[in-house]
Amino acid sequence: MIKILNKGEYALDDVLNRERFSLDISQVVSDIIFGVKMGGDPTLIDYCRKLDKAEVASLELTEEEIDAAVAEVPEDVMETLQEAADRIANYHKAQVKEGYTVEEDGIKLRQKVMPLKKVGIYIPGGTAAYPSTVLMNAIPAKIAGVEEIIMVTPPTAKGNIPLVTLAAAKIAGVDRVFRIGGAQAIAALAYGTKTVPKVDKIVGPGNAYVAEAKKQVFGHVGIDLIAGPSEVIVIADKDSDARIVAADLLCQSEHDRMATAVLITNDKDVAEKTAEELEVQLAALPRQEIAREALEANGKIIIVDTIDEAIDLANELAPEHLELFLDDAEEYADKVENAGAVFVGKNCPEALGDYFAGPNHTLPTSGTAMFASPLAVDDFMKSMSLTYYDSSALEKAKDKVALLAREEGLEGHALSILGRFE
């Protein structure tokens, strides 16, 4: 049964499960990365056998294999994936930015914005297929102008990739697909092998081993973020339908055993009815074992005095997902300062954002929404500055530059500019 807590019965740090890893996996991941660096493709194939229990003859899927798989996907699924892709693309196209130029007498300062050349996207596998994650990660990269998008994802025991995952890759414009999962996939993308190209940046969610691997290769390549357990906070008022609130909490809880779902409400009746509904709906949920363990370990219902107090608590927690399940949700939306994604109103469940609405579902977790943002086109671009001074402009600046250089004790800096006028 989910815990129901009143004000003062909980510590802020205990509301959301912020434990990134359930065990110390750092050394295990370090060994895997080293093994891939030294052993290359044969080591990757061996890890497929050992860790994914999969026999694979080749790491990369051919274009013919992908096309054959896509041909088996039902037409209605393809059409829906395409519509979701279009919505995601329309939202992200607005994020594209250009460079700029600032000019004054004899001075030209420019910012040049460029796409990354090669990006790797990690798509989880195992107990479920995640075509939505393919769309969310590949489409912004495509819009940014990335030249080559490399997708890695764990194979099934038969060495296959789910058909719908390949369909999403085709729609999103993924260039190459590899049957590799886990920390070994991150290592392959970061350092390259004979078959797997080295990329400039790695994006996409994964389990604790994937997150730890991204952490360890950061600096050698770029990464988007280090994801912790997925989480949702639902803020509900006294007029909320407990049946729907419970369903939205279960939507998050069925992800995995470390997921966190929290209801914050100003109504005791809604709190108690939601707890009852959770038990009813759990019984019919295919992934009830996972959802129940997540709810019992991490789920909470918190009763507060006012909705404003609920918003303040949410801002302190900075959740990955925040549902404003309120009649007057738009009045409260602008009061939210810290959340990865906000779902405004009773007609906007988190699942809508997961699959179809358009904003990205790769979001900051573990409180990082205090300072981090959802995956965006910017994540697949870089900028550099270009500075031009003519001789007159440099002469006007030389003494001031030299003054600051000498204040820092760097005489060579001062002489490098003054020497031009001797």
Domain ranges in the chain are 26-223, 229-367, 392-421
Look at residues 66, 64, 65 and name the one whose alpha carbon lies nearest to residue 169.
66
The pTM of this model reads: 0.92
What is the distance between the alpha carbons of residues 265 and 242, in angstroms, rounded to a whole number? 11
Residues serving a catalytic function are 320-321
pLDDT attached to residue 13: 73
Other Cβ atoms closer than 10 A to 394 = 15
Query: Vertex 138, ends 87 and 182: CA angle to 5°?
Result: 130
* Homologous superfamily, domain 26-223: Nitrogenase molybdenum iron protein domain (3.40.50.1980)
What is the distance between the alpha carbons of residues 12 and 277, in angstroms, rounded to a whole number? 26
Same fold for the pair 26-223 and 229-367: yes
Pairing outcome for strands 231-236 and 260-265: parallel
What is the distance between the alpha carbons of residues 33 and 44, in angstroms, rounded to a whole number? 10
Tens of each residue's pLDDT in the chain, 422 residues: 788 888 777 777 777 766 655 568 899 999 999 999 999 999 999 999 999 888 888 999 999 999 999 999 999 999 999 999 999 999 999 999 999 999 999 999 999 999 999 999 999 986 678 999 999 999 999 999 999 999 999 998 888 899 999 999 999 999 999 999 999 999 999 999 999 999 999 999 998 899 999 999 999 999 998 888 889 999 999 999 999 999 999 998 988 888 899 999 999 999 999 999 999 999 999 998 999 998 998 899 999 999 999 999 999 999 999 999 999 999 999 999 999 999 999 999 999 999 999 999 999 998 999 999 999 999 999 999 999 999 999 999 999 999 999 999 999 999 999 999 98
CATH of 229-367, one of 3.40.190.10, 3.40.50.1980, 3.20.20.70, 1.10.101.10: 3.40.50.1980
pLDDT attached to residue 15: 77
pLDDT attached to residue 313: 95
pLDDT attached to residue 128: 74
